[in-house]
Each structure stands twice: as structure tokens, then as C-alpha cells.
């Protein structure tokens, strides 16, 4: 629960609903293919990962 709250706080307010909607669609795509992944939408890119060498 704490991680979820921190995640929601980290989202920009102006695009919070859009991001959550894209995450829901991404989750549904993963559930639909049932673990058989050939291609998934590239809707999310990690710009920065804190506390790693990939800053």
C-alpha cells in the first residue's frame, strides 16, 4: 500500500488519469495474452531509475 501511494504521488497531476488509464490497458493486454508475449505496446519508457547506475 505504501508503494502504491508513493507511485501515485510521483505522477504529474496534469496527466495522472491518462497514465493510470494506459497502465490499466497495458495490464489488460498482459492478461489477454496469458503469458505468451510476442509484441506489447511500447507506451511506457523509463526515463530515470533512482538509486541505480542508470540515472
Range of the domain at 52: 1-55
State pTM to two decimals: 0.51
Q: How far from 32 is each of 25, 39, 46, 52, 54, CA to CA, in Å?
A: 10, 12, 24, 32, 31
- CA pair distance 47, 34, nearest whole angstrom: 28
**pLDDT of 2 above 50:** yes
Mean per-residue pLDDT, 33-54: 58
Considering Cα of 21, then 27, then 32, then 38, what sign does the dihedral take?
positive
| Domain total of the chain | 1
Check pLDDT > 50 for residue 55.
Answer: no
Q: pLDDT by residue (tens digit) across 14-42?
A: 888 888 888 888 788 777 777 666 555 55
| Beta-carbon-side half-sphere exposure of residue 33 (alpha carbons within 13 Å) | 12
Amino acid at each position: 500500500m505504501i508503494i502504491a501511494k508513493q507511485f501515485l504521488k510521483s505522477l504529474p497531476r496534469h496527466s495522472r488519469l491518462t497514465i493510470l488509464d494506459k497502465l490499466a490497458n497495458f495490464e489488460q493486454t498482459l492478461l489477454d495474452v496469458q503469458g505468451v508475449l510476442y509484441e506489447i505496446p511500447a507506451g511506457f519508457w523509463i526515463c530515470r531509475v533512482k538509486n541505480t547506475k542508470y540515472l
